Each structure stands twice: as structure tokens, then as C-alpha cells.
Structure 1
Amino acid sequence: MANQYKKIFVTVGTTRFDLLCETITTSPVLRALKKIGCEEINFQIGNSNFEPGDYVKEGVKIHSFRFKDSIQDDIKNADLVISHAGAGSCLETLEANKPLLVVVNEDLMDNHQLELAEQLQIDNHLYYCTCDTLENTLDIVDFSILTPFPKPDTTLFVKFLDDVFRVKQNIN
């Protein structure tokens, strides 16, 4: 296997996503993670009904915590990020140029998160799944073929302002 994802960061954001917390720590999912090289999981559990702490299961070291002021270092230090479908978590991970697997919370009503995950997968920036399909998804996806998320082009805003003021000058 070309890529080894030894350090995996999992985040549920600031919400409660008990099903993802439970699913990540099941033996079948941990075994699927080990197949792609996982040795340790840094796990931000948010408000989920899950106890923070450190333990080992299926040979994987798991460190879980509720919140931090910033998860930027957790993302930066990870070889792979598994995240809920929140826009902030997705964009922060993609901007850090980390491979991303989004797990959609199907319990959310009016699920705009699903729309975001679908579009970013169509654009080949990430993969998404549900808790039910997480194990199988880990077995079949190839994170190495994802397309890096484009860096923001700050010149577009400057060009926009130039165009606006140029039009305004021509009117006067």
C-alpha cells in the first residue's frame, strides 16, 4: 500500500454525533482503519454521549477529547481526517491539503451538509459516506487520487474592486 495513514484525526465538531463516536470505535471499523495503516486516532467527540480519555482497542491507540480552542494542529498532524459534514471542518481540512472522509449525519433534518459533501465528492476533493457504510468505504476508497482543494485567489477581489471603480469613473 503506497499511503499509510498512521495518524487519523476524527472530529464531530461542536455538535452531538453519538452514532459516529460509536461507529468509529467498533471492531470492524477499527480493523478497516488498521488495514490502511492506522496506529492512532485523535478523536474530538464534542457533545456526544461518549467519555473522553485514552485507551487501546484492536491495537489502535485512541485519545478522545471534547473541545479545544482550535483543531488546526490536530488536522495538520493527521495523515487522514474523518469528519462530520460541517462546512467549517471540511474546508479547514481541505485547505490544509489533508485527505478527507466525511461521515454524514443522517439524523439531521434539511441536510445541507449532505449537499456540501456530495458536491465536494463530485469535484473529487473528498469521499463521503454514512455511519452504516463507513467500514466498506474505508475498504474501497483511494485517497491518493483526490484532487487538492484550490487555494483562494485573492486577486479576484482586487480585480472586482478595480472593475467596480472603473465602471463608476466612466459613469461620472
Structure 2
Amino acid sequence: MSDQKSSSNASGKRCFVTIGATAPFNSLVRAVLEPTFIKPLCDAGYTQLRVQYGNQEGEAIFQERCKILKEAGFDQGIEITGFGFNREGLRGEMLAVKGQSPQDEGMVISHAGSGSVLDALRIGVPIVVVPNTDLLHNHQVELAEALAEQEYVIHGKLDNLAGSIASVEELRRKMKQWPPLRSGEEKYKRGLEDVIAEEMGWQIG
């Protein structure tokens, strides 16, 4: 368990957790480092947990939780690494979730920021969206609910993230049946764009 660079060449299923770049989300950092989440994650075949923890406070929480997990023996079978921010963006981290084979494809757990959600869906990996309810005057809960209703994402809850793991596998099966998704400079899938535009109040390019 350490703070280190990601390795996209590592085999096995990876769970990548991102809190975004604009606000702390320490409760999410804590939640993904609870034994009640780590054990079912390992049971589901995940061998890597990569956490973007944000600022110094988030880093302290990450290190403390990792120490507790190690002392309790919950670090066996899974590699836990973390980092604060990446100025180059998170696309590389999300691409690593795809794995080297379909069997290695993992999942993303993210705050309900539209940019992070779109990045994960453009790459084609299942995403659990967890609203940061500590933020005032934000649309994160509404966005998560709307996208989950349309079955684009899993609406995750801080007090039951473990329950989202099985839901991710169901979403993964559904995603295999989707038509090819477009990315880059082209328009993304119209239905998703409309949902986000309605909830956020602006259009996506």
C-alpha cells in the first residue's frame, strides 16, 4: 500500500477511485478503504485499488486507512496505491481499468462530476457514481439519479459501496450490448448528452 505511479501493464482487475479536482471528498476516500468494501472487492477478483485522494488531508486519510488495513491483514491479495492530482488528466488511469483482456476489465468509482463520468463512459468501463453531498448548490445527486435511471451508471451510496460491486457486473453485461460509443471531437451518445445537459443546465461539446 503506497503512494506511487500507476502501472497500466499490471494484470488483474483494477478499481480506480477519483474524487475530482475541484473539491475534497474525504468520505469517499474513507469508504473505499473500509474492510467492508475491500473484502468483497477482493472476492470479486480485483487485485488493484487505485485511489485519487486529492489534497494533503485526503493523503493523510489514505495513509492512515492503509495502515489500519495492513495491520488487520486486509492487504493480502490486493495492491492499493494512491496519488493526489494528475495535471495530465485521468484518462490514463481510466484506460488502465480496461485491463489487458476482457476478463481483467475493472470499474471506476467517481464523484458525480460530469467530466469524470463522460471520460469513463467514452472509454467504455463501468462507473459507480457517488455524489458528494457535502457540496452546496450542486447537481451531483440529481445527475447521479438521472444517469442511473437511464442505466448509464450505478448510483453508489457511501454507506453501501460494497453493494455496488455486484451491480457493476450487471451494468458491464448491459454495456456489451450497447452500440459503439463515439469519442474524441465527435458528439457523444445523444441520450447521455441530453441527460447531463438537462441536469447541469449546459450543453456538452
Percent identity between matched residues is 29
Instruction: Give, in whole Å, the separation in 1 of the partners of 2:137 and 2:181.
Output: 28
1:143 aligns with 2:182: no
2:16 is aligned, of 9, 33, 44, to: 9
Aligned to 1:50: 58
User: Could you list the runs of 4 or more consecutive aligned residues of structure 1 that deviate by over 3 angstroms after TM superposition?
Assistant: 52-57, 145-150
Contact 2:53 2:83 in 1 (8 A): yes
SS in 1 for 2:140: helix
Matched, 1:76 2:95: yes
SS across alignment from 1:143: helix
Which amino acid is the alignment partner of residue 65 of structure 1? F
Q: Kindly tell me the number of residue pairs found equivalent between the two proteins.
A: 150
Deviations 1:50-93 (A, max 9, x none): 32678774222111100112111100011211111111111111
Instruction: Find the counterpart in structure 1 of residue 160 from structure 2.
Output: 133
The aligned counterpart of 1:31 is 39
Within the candidate set 74, 77, 83, 1:65 is matched to 83
Q: Rg bigger for which structure?
A: 1
Residues 114, 31 of structure 1: alpha-carbon distance in 2 compared, 3 angstrom cutoff: same
Q: How far apart, in 1, do the equivalents of 2:125 and 2:52 lie?
A: 17
> Contact between 1:103 and 1:131, CA under 8 Å: does it hold in 2?
yes
Output one character per residue of 1:105-162: Cα deviation in whole Å (capped at 9) or x when no partner.
Answer: 12222330111111211111110122112122324552323445843665xxxxxxxx
Distance 1:11 1:48, change over 3 A: farther
Query: Which amino acid letter does the alignment assign opposite residue 115 of structure 2?
Result: G
**Are the aligned partners of 2:37 and 2:161 in contact in 1 as well (CA < 8 Å)?**
yes
Is this contact kept in 1: 2:154–2:167, CA < 8 A? Answer: no
- Matched residue SS, 1:13: coil
Match in the other structure for 1:161: none
Aligned-residue CA RMSD (Å): 2.3
Scaled by the length of structure 2, the TM-score of the pair is 0.65
Provide the residue aligned with 1:121 in structure 2.
148
Give the Å deviation of 1:33.
1.1
Residues 43 and 67 from structure 1, CA distance in 2 versus in 1: closer, same or farther, beyond 3 angstroms? same
Segments of structure 1 that go 5 or more residues without pairing to the other structure are 155-172
- 8 Å CA contact 2:151–2:171 kept in 1: the answer is no
* TM-score w.r.t. length of structure 1: 0.76
